[in-house]
């Protein structure tokens, strides 16, 4: 199994992240990024997001190489809840990288951030993401109608969660 490491995201990750998410087969990204400048802007805001307990974003590394990104977004109305999200380069799909990243994020969420509930929300068509959630012991709680916007379209989403 590939060994996965997480580290806080850095502005220097922008070019690699942009390469990954601009792959035409990468269809489930919910944050619109039209340029490397957009990615840099997003990454520069990470320190502020952490200070405000809004989000904790990480770079996924395999053998020292950037293969994706992940994070925990804190629900600002119920700060004991968090939502995990992740993306992995297509050349690494099917290697269990997302599953390992979710397990590491979950440990951070429950043990370091004191969360009581962690959710994973994914497009109902995103079978690989659903598989990672199931492998990590998340339970399907339902379908959320038109809960995800990608581009100009709205999609149904599965809600998976784990509580501590």
CA pair distance 150, 12, nearest whole angstrom: 26
pLDDT at 35: 84
CA pair distance 14, 39, nearest whole angstrom: 6
Token pair for 105: 């994020």
Q: Could you tell me the CA-to-CA distances from 123 to 31, 49, 141 in Å, in that order?
A: 13, 25, 14
Mean per-residue pLDDT, 83-107: 95
Which domains are present in the chain?
A: 4-121 (3.40.630.30)
Mean per-residue pLDDT, 27-48: 83
CA pair distance 30, 28, nearest whole angstrom: 6
- The 10s digit of each residue's pLDDT in 99-126 is 999 999 999 999 999 999 999 999 999 9
Element (H, E) at 47: helix 46-51
Cβ–Cβ < 8 Å for 49, 74: no
pLDDT at 1: 62
Comparing 70 with 30, the larger pLDDT belongs to 70
Cβ–Cβ < 8 Å for 89, 128: no
Cβ–Cβ < 8 Å for 156, 115: no
Q: How confident is the model at residue 29 (pLDDT cuts 50, 70, 90)?
A: low
pLDDT surpasses 70 at 129: yes
Query: In angstroms, what is the C-alpha Rg of the chain?
Result: 15
Among all chains, which residue has been given the structure tokens 């916007």?
149
pLDDT at 21: 87
CA pair distance 41, 43, nearest whole angstrom: 6
The overall average pLDDT reported for the chain is: 93
Among all chains, which residue has been given the structure tokens 């379209």?
153
pLDDT surpasses 70 at 164: yes
Helix (H/G/I), strand (E/B), else coil: 148: strand
């Amino acid at each position: 199994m590939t060994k996965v490491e997480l580290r806080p995201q850095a502005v220097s990750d922008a070019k690699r992240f942009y390469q990954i998410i601009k792959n035409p087969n990468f269809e489930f990204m919910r944050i619109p990024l039209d340029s490397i400048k957009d990615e840099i802007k997003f990454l520069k805001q990470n320190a502020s997001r952490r200070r405000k307990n809004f989000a904790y974003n990480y770079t996924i590394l395999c053998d020292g190489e950037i293969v994706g990104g992940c994070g925990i977004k804190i629900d600002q109305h119920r700060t004991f809840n968090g939502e995990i999200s992740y993306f992995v380069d297509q050349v690494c799909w099917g290697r269990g990288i997302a599953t390992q990243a979710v397990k590491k994020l979950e440990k951070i969420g429950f043990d370091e951030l004191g969360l009581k509930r962690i959710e994973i929300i994914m497009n109902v068509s995103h079978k690989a993401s659903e598989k990672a959630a199931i492998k990590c012991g998340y339970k399907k709680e339902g379908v959320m109608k038109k809960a995800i916007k990608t581009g100009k379209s709205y999609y149904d989403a599965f809600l998976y969660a784990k509580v501590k």
